[in-house]
Structure 1
Amino acid sequence: MHHTWLTPFSVLAMALTKCWDPEVILFRKNEPKNVIMIPNQPVTEDVVDFLKATWNRAALRMCVDGGAETLVRIMGCQIDNFLPDYITGDFDSVSKETLKSFQAKGTTIVHTPDQDETDFTKALRVLKQAVESKALQIDHVVVLCSSFDRVDHMMAHFNTLFTSMAFLHVPVCLYSGSSLTWLLGEGRHQIATPKHLVGEWCGLIPLGEPCREVTTTGLKWNLNHSEMRFGGMVSTSNTFDASGVVTVETDKPLLWTMGIAPAKV
Structure 2
Amino acid sequence: MEKQEEEVQQQQQQQQQQQQPDKNNKETITWDVAEYGGYLFDKKLKAHNPLNHQMPLQYHHSQSTPHIPSSLSTSSTTSIKKPSSSLSDDESGGSSSSTPHSSNTPRKQFSFDDHCALILANQKLPKKLVDYFWDKCSVRICADGGANRLYSLGTKINQSSRWIPDYIKGDLDSLHEGVSDFFSKKGSSIVLDSSQDTSDLQKCFELIIDLEKGSGIKYRKIFILGGLGGSFSHEFANVNTLFDHPGRKIILASKDNLAWLLSSTYNHNIICRSETKCSLIPLSSKASQVTTSGLKWNLVKQSLNFGELISTSNVSLDNKVCVETSNPLIFIVDINP
* Category of TM-score, reference length = shorter chain: 0.7 to 0.9
Change (3 A) 1:50 1:148: closer
Q: Is the 8 A contact 1:124 1:164 kept in 2?
A: no
1:202 to 267, 270, 278: 278
Change (3 A) 1:138 1:28: farther
Q: Does 1:226 align with 2:302?
A: yes
- CA deviation string 1:146-205 (max 9, x = no partner): 75243222212211221233xxx321111112321001111310110124xxx6411000
Q: Does 1:172 align with 2:172?
A: no
1:171 maps to a residue whose letter is: K
Change (3 A) 1:147 1:39: closer
2:316 to 240, 246, 251: 240
Q: Does 1:67 align with 2:149?
A: no
Moved more, 150-159 or 213-222: 150-159
Bigger RCO (CA 8 Å, 6+ sep): 1
1:194 maps to a residue whose letter is: R
Moved more, 228-237 or 33-42: 33-42
Q: Does 1:9 align with 2:22?
A: yes
> CA RMSD for the aligned pairs?
2.2
- CA deviation string 1:28-59 (max 9, x = no partner): 1235232221112223xxx2122124312211
- Counterparts of 2:192 and 2:142 in 1: how far apart (Å)? 12
Which runs of 5 or more structure 1 residues have no equivalent in the other structure? Answer: 1-6
Q: Is the 8 A contact 1:59 1:138 kept in 2?
A: no
Instruction: Give structure 1 regions of 4+ aligned residues with deviation exceeding 3 angstroms.
Output: none
* Alignment correspondent of 1:23: 34
Q: Look at both structures and tell me which one has the larger radius of gyration over its CA atoms.
A: 2
- SS of equivalent to 2:229: coil
Q: Is the 8 A contact 1:144 1:176 kept in 2?
A: yes
- Name the % identity: 31
- Counterparts of 2:253 and 2:214 in 1: how far apart (Å)? 27
Moved more, 142-151 or 122-131: 142-151
* Structure 1 residue 10 displacement after superposition: 8.0
Q: Is the 8 A contact 1:25 1:34 kept in 2?
A: no
Q: Does 1:130 align with 2:211?
A: yes
Q: Does 1:34 align with 2:116?
A: yes
* Alignment correspondent of 2:173: 92
> Pairwise mapping of residues 143-162 of structure 1 onto structure 2 (< 5 A)?
143-145=224-226, 148-162=229-243
Q: Is the 8 A contact 2:208 2:219 kept in 1?
A: no
- Counterparts of 2:22 and 2:284 in 1: how far apart (Å)? 26
* Structure 1 residue 96 displacement after superposition: 2.5
- Counterparts of 1:11 and 1:157 in 2: how far apart (Å)? 30
Q: Is the 8 A contact 1:19 1:191 kept in 2?
A: yes
Q: Is the 8 A contact 2:123 2:229 kept in 1?
A: no
* Structure 1 residue 233 displacement after superposition: 1.5
2:171 maps to a residue whose letter is: D
- Counterparts of 1:54 and 1:20 in 2: how far apart (Å)? 16
2:148 maps to a residue whose letter is: E
After TM superposition, the score normalised by the length of structure 1 is: 0.84
Which runs of 5 or more structure 2 residues have no equivalent in the other structure? Answer: 1-17, 38-55, 61-109
2:251 maps to a residue whose letter is: C
- Counterparts of 2:222 and 2:34 in 1: how far apart (Å)? 14
1:12 maps to a residue whose letter is: N
After TM superposition, the score normalised by the length of structure 2 is: 0.67
* Structure 1 residue 139 displacement after superposition: 4.2
1:183 to 261, 265, 284: 261
Q: Is the 8 A contact 2:129 2:225 kept in 1?
A: no
What is the aligned residue count?
244
- CA deviation string 1:129-159 (max 9, x = no partner): 1133223343421111275243222212211
- CA deviation string 1:95-145 (max 9, x = no partner): 233223322322122112111221112211211211332233434211112
Change (3 A) 1:78 1:131: farther
Change (3 A) 1:147 1:138: closer
Change (3 A) 1:136 1:22: farther
- Counterparts of 1:105 and 1:125 in 2: how far apart (Å)? 23
